[in-house]
Chains A and B, each alone.
Chain A
Amino acid sequence: MSSTDAAAVDVEGLSVRYGPIVALDDVSLTLRRGTVCGLIGMNGSGKSTLFKAMMGLQRADSGRVTIGGLDPAAARRRGIVGYVPQAEAVDWSFPVSVRDVVMTGRYGRMGPMRRARDTDRAAVADALARVELTELADRQIGQLSGGQRKRAFVARGIAQGAEILLLDEPFAGVDKRSEATMSGLLTDLAAGGATVLIATHDLHALPSLADEAVLLLRRVLLHGPVEEVLAPHNLARAFGVDPLDHGSRT
C-alpha cells in the first residue's frame, strides 16, 4: 500500500517532446490528497499530454511521475487513476448501457473473463446511486444528456475505487444545473479523500469547486489558490498570445 503521507500526484521535471515540438517543458507539480485542482490552459498547452503521462500512456523524455507513491505502471495495476474522457473522444453510438460502462471500472478486480460477482454489481449500483443515474442505468450511453454522460464516467471511476480522478473538459456541452450537480459530486469525492484534477479552459465553474489551480502553458506558470490563479493578470499569461511563440502544439 502507498503510505498515507505520500502526495497523491507528484510530477518532477517532466518534459515531453513530439519530434521537434515541445509539449511539456520541465513540469513539476504536487497534488495533495483530497484536493480539487483545476488545470487551466488553452488548447495545445499540454493538458492532455500531462494527463497521458499521469496515466502512463505517454513516455517522458525526462523527469518522472509518481502516483500515490508508485510509478504510473504500478498505479495502473492497482486502478488508482480514473479517467473521464472528453466528449469528442467517445463513440456515443456504441452499443453499451450506462451500467455496462460503469461495470468496466471493476474489470481490474475481476478474473480474466471479467464476470461480475455480487460485490461488483453492488459497487456499480452504489456508484450509479452516487451520481444519481440509477433510473437511467439501462439506457444506451448515447441516450443520456451531456451532463449525465459525464456523471456516468465519474461513476466508472467511483466503481473502480480510483483515488485520483482526471477529468478532461467535464463542463463542455453541459447545462448549468448538471454543472452544479457535477461540482457537488466532485467536491464530495474530494472530501472522501479522492484527488480530483480537472483540465479545462472553461473557467467560470472553477471558483466554487476547486481548492487550487494550475496555469499550464507547456510549463507550470503558476500553481496556487484558485482565486489567485484566476486573477486576470495571471490568466493573461496563460491565454495571452505571444507573437514569438507559434508552431507549438500538443
Chain B
Amino acid sequence: MNPLDLLTEPLSYGFMIRALVTTAVAAAVCALLSCWLVLIGWSLMGDAVSHAVLPGVVLAYVLGLPFAIGAVVFGFLAVGLIGAIRDTSRVKEDAAIGIVFTTLFALGLVLISVTPSQTDLNHIVFGNVLGVSVVDVVQVVGLGAVVVAVLLHKRRDLVLYAFDPGHAHAIGLSPRRLGALLLGLLALTAVVALQVVGVILVVAMLILPGATAHLLTDRFSRMLVVAPILSVVCATVGLYLSYWIDAAPGGLVVVSQGAVFSAVYLFGPRHGLLGRLRNARTDRAAGPGSDITDARRARR
C-alpha cells in the first residue's frame, strides 16, 4: 500500500473527518486550559469537575437544553459542595473532592440508566468520537472558540491568579472572580472534550498537555504554544491508530499523550530526568565551586 494512503484513506469517510475536527479542536482547547490548571494545582479539581458535570449533561438532555448549561451548573455545584464540606466539617479537601465528584458521577450513571433516549447516553461516559454528528461538531467548535477567546483575553490575569493571587488582590483584581471564571471555562471544556474521550478520560486531556509543556519550557507564553501543538498531534495520531488497529479512539488519544509525556519526562532537554541525573553527576565530578558547576547552576 502507498504510505500516503495511511493518511488519506481514513479521510474518505465523513465520520473520520468529523472525528478528526472534533478531536483536534477538543485537544487544542483542553491543552490551553491545562497550562493554567497544572500550574495552579487544580488537576484534582479538573478531575472532579469533569466527572461531576455528568448528571448536568443528562438533565440538560432530558430538558432539551444545551449540554453546556447543565455542565456549568453542575460544575459550580460540585465546587460549592466540595468547599462546603471542607469548611464545615473535619473532612479534608481531598476527601471532600473524592466524595462529591464520585457521588455526582454515580448520580449521572443512575440518571442515564432511567432516561429513555434515542442516542446512547453511555457515549457521554466513554466518548463516541467516531459517531459525532455535524451538529455535535458545530457545538464543539463553537464552545471551543468561546473558551479559547476568553482564555486568551484574560490570560495575563489568569497567570497572575495562578502565580500570586495575593498580589492580584493587592492591586485591586478579584482572585475569587478569576477563580470562578476558570471554573466556568473548565466545565465548558469538559463538555467539549467529553465528545471525544468521554467524561472518564477528559481529565487526562486537561492535565497531560500542560504538564508536558511545563517540562519543556520556562516561559508561559511558550507553554501556550507547545501544549496545544503536542496535544493536537497526539490526538490525531491516536485517532489514526484507532482507525488502522481498530481500537478505542478515546483511549488511544490519551495513551499517545501519556507516551509523549513519558518521553519528555525521561529525555526532555531542560527538565528531563536523565539530563538532570547526568548534570548532577558531572557537577559532583567537577566538584563544588568549580566554574563548570557554577555556570551550569546559573543557566538552570
Q: Do A and B come from one complex?
A: yes
Q: Is the CB of B170 within 8 A of A76?
A: yes
B-side contacts of A160, CB under 8 Å: 171
Q: Is the CB of A95 within 8 A of B160?
A: no
Q: Does B162 contact A (CB under 8 A)?
A: yes
Interface size class of A (residues with CB under 8 A): 20 to 34
Partner of B300, one of A83, A90, A96, A143: A143
Q: Is the CB of A104 within 8 A of B164?
A: yes
Q: Does A46 contact B (CB under 8 A)?
A: no
Cβ of B71 to closest chain A Cβ, rounded Å: 26
Q: Is the CB of B219 within 8 A of A89?
A: no
Q: Does B18 contact A (CB under 8 A)?
A: no
Q: Does B283 contact A (CB under 8 A)?
A: no
Q: Identify whether the interface residues of B are mostly helix, strand, loop, or mixed.
A: helix
A-side contacts of B159, CB under 8 Å: 96
Q: Does B163 contact A (CB under 8 A)?
A: yes
Cβ of A115 to closest chain B Cβ, rounded Å: 8
Question: Contacts A85-B164, A107-B157 hold; do A95 and B170 have CB atoms under 8 A apart?
Answer: no
For A79, the closest partner residue in chain B by CB is: B171
Cβ of B167 to closest chain A Cβ, rounded Å: 6
Q: Is the CB of A83 within 8 A of B160?
A: no
Q: Is the CB of A108 within 8 A of B160?
A: no
Cβ of A21 to closest chain B Cβ, rounded Å: 15
Q: Does A140 contact B (CB under 8 A)?
A: yes
Q: Is the CB of A95 within 8 A of B169?
A: no
Question: Contacts A91-B163, A94-B162, A114-B157 hold; do A76 and B171 have CB atoms under 8 A apart?
Answer: yes
Q: Is the CB of B157 within 8 A of A95?
A: no
User: CA separation between A112 and B174, bound complex, in Å?
Assistant: 13
Cβ of B211 to closest chain A Cβ, rounded Å: 12
Q: Is the CB of A76 within 8 A of B156?
A: no
User: CA separation between A79 and B163, bound complex, in Å?
Assistant: 18
Q: Does B172 contact A (CB under 8 A)?
A: yes
User: CA separation between A81 and B214, bound complex, in Å?
Assistant: 32
Q: Does B237 contact A (CB under 8 A)?
A: no
A-side contacts of B172, CB under 8 Å: 76-79, 108
User: CA separation between A105 and B220, bound complex, in Å?
Assistant: 18
Within 8 A of A (CB), among B148-170: 153, 156-157, 159-160, 162-164, 166-170
Within 8 A of B (CB), among A67-124: 76-79, 81-83, 85, 89-91, 93-97, 100-101, 104-105, 107-108, 112-114
Interface size class of B (residues with CB under 8 A): 20 to 34
Partner of B39, one of A85, A95, A105: A95
- 1/0 contact string of B136-155 vs chain A (CB within 8 Å): 00000000000000000100
Q: Does A56 contact B (CB under 8 A)?
A: yes
A-side contacts of B28, CB under 8 Å: none
Question: Contacts A114-B157, A143-B298 hold; do A104 and B166 have CB atoms under 8 A apart?
Answer: no
User: CA separation between A91 and B220, bound complex, in Å?
Assistant: 14
Q: Is the CB of A107 within 8 A of B173?
A: yes
A-side contacts of B300, CB under 8 Å: 143
Q: Is the CB of B166 within 8 A of A94?
A: no
For B222, the closest partner residue in chain A by CB is: A95
Q: Does A149 contact B (CB under 8 A)?
A: no
Cβ of A210 to closest chain B Cβ, rounded Å: 22
Please name 23 pairs of A and B residues whose Cβ atoms are closer than 8 Å in the assembled complex, sorted by A: A55-B169, A55-B170, A57-B166, A79-B170, A79-B171, A81-B170, A83-B167, A85-B167, A89-B166, A91-B39, A94-B39, A95-B218, A95-B219, A96-B163, A96-B220, A97-B219, A101-B163, A104-B167, A107-B168, A113-B156, A114-B156, A114-B157, A143-B298
Residues of chain B whose beta carbon lies under 8 Å from any beta carbon of chain A: 39, 153, 156-157, 159-160, 162-164, 166-173, 214, 217-220, 222-223, 298, 300
Residues of chain A whose beta carbon lies under 8 Å from any beta carbon of chain B: 55-57, 76-79, 81-83, 85, 89-91, 93-97, 100-101, 104-105, 107-108, 112-114, 140, 143, 156, 160
